[in-house]
Amino acid sequence: MAVAGTLTAEQRREALRAGLAEHGRLRLAEVAAQWAVHPMTIRRDFEQLEREGVARRVRGGLLHVPDDAFDRRQARALSAKRKIAAKLRDLVPSDAAVGMDASTTVHLLAAGLPSRPGISVVTNGLAAFESLHRTPGVRTFLTGGECEDRNNSLVGPAAVATIRQFLLARCFLSAAALDAAAGSSETTVEQVALKQAMAAVSDHVVLAVDASKLGQRSLVRSIGLDQIDMLVTDLAPDDARLDDYRDLVEIR
């Protein structure tokens, strides 16, 4: 029996969240037929659930994202992060040492990195390390340190000490927020210490953030724009939302 198509958008999405949690997957065509609504309506609902970080879109439907902080953040703004990762891949040099933080944005770079002859990567991200050490031609170093479950990363004095041993040609960092005056900021002091250490030993610092983080501030001040060489976002470089940063950093 078809569900009446008179539910409000939020009522419909709440039912979708419940069905997704129960079954693990929803198929667009089946949901549209069951609810007697146009497939485009369900597609918009699926897009909203992906933005919320509770689901990940796949061909023909939607997959449930487990109730884990890293996985939830990975799924949030996923389309934007994929655009950023595509830009970042062109910035990874060959025959060089680079750093990658534990952010969900940079993890997409690590997960999709093609073979780079002679490249070495140091990271405190457990997910990034898991992806990178399987990539042909990539020599991967994982810092020591204390496990921080929320970010699926290693932090603390041991992690910072490891980073300080390297001389990096370039590092790839993200941030919880970016403000033109305050610079980047994070939710924890531990993540700030790691990112500052990585920036300090890098010849070139790349900050990658999606547009939702622009003009925002988080809890702990991290890296100033005077320390950042390039800002990479999901926006076109000439987008007006980047005007506040245009005279401060190179924009991609």
- Is residue 69 very low, low, confident or very high in pLDDT (cuts 50, 70, 90)? low
> What confidence score (pLDDT) does residue 68 get?
53
Angle at 10 between CA 234 and CA 35, to 5 degrees: 105
> What confidence score (pLDDT) does residue 152 get?
87
- Is residue 13 very low, low, confident or very high in pLDDT (cuts 50, 70, 90)? confident
% of the chain residues with pLDDT over 90:
60
The pTM score is 0.74
pLDDT, average across residues 104-112:
93
Query: Is residue 64 a contact partner of residue 135, using CB atoms and an 8 Å limit?
Result: no
DSSP the chain: -PPPTTS-HHHHHHHHHHHHHHHSEEEHHHHHHHHT--HHHHHHHHHHHHHHTSEEEETTEEEEPPS-HHHHHHHTTHHHHHHHHHHHHTTPPSSSEEEE-S-HHHHHHHHTPPP-TTEEEEESBHHHHHHHTTSTTEEEEE--SEEEGGGTEEESHHHHHHHTT--BSEEEE--SEEETTTEEEES-HHHHHHHHHHHHTBSSEEEE--GGGBT---SEE---GGG-SEEE-SS-TT-GGGGGGTTTSEE-
The average confidence (pLDDT) of the chain is 89
| 7 pLDDT more than 70 | no
> What confidence score (pLDDT) does residue 9 get?
81
More confident of the two residues 249 and 54: 249
- Is residue 115 very low, low, confident or very high in pLDDT (cuts 50, 70, 90)? confident
> What confidence score (pLDDT) does residue 187 get?
85
Nearest to 112 by CA among 81, 139, 152, 142: 81
| 123 pLDDT more than 50 | yes
Tens digits of residue pLDDT in 206-247: 999 999 999 999 989 999 999 999 999 999 999 999 999 999
> What confidence score (pLDDT) does residue 2 get?
42
Sorted by where each starts, the structural domains of the chain and their CATH numbers stand as: 9-65 (1.10.10.10), 78-251 (3.40.50.1360)
Tens digits of residue pLDDT in 156-213: 999 999 999 999 999 999 999 999 999 999 988 999 999 999 999 999 999 999 999 9
More confident of the two residues 24 and 131: 131
- Is residue 4 very low, low, confident or very high in pLDDT (cuts 50, 70, 90)? very low
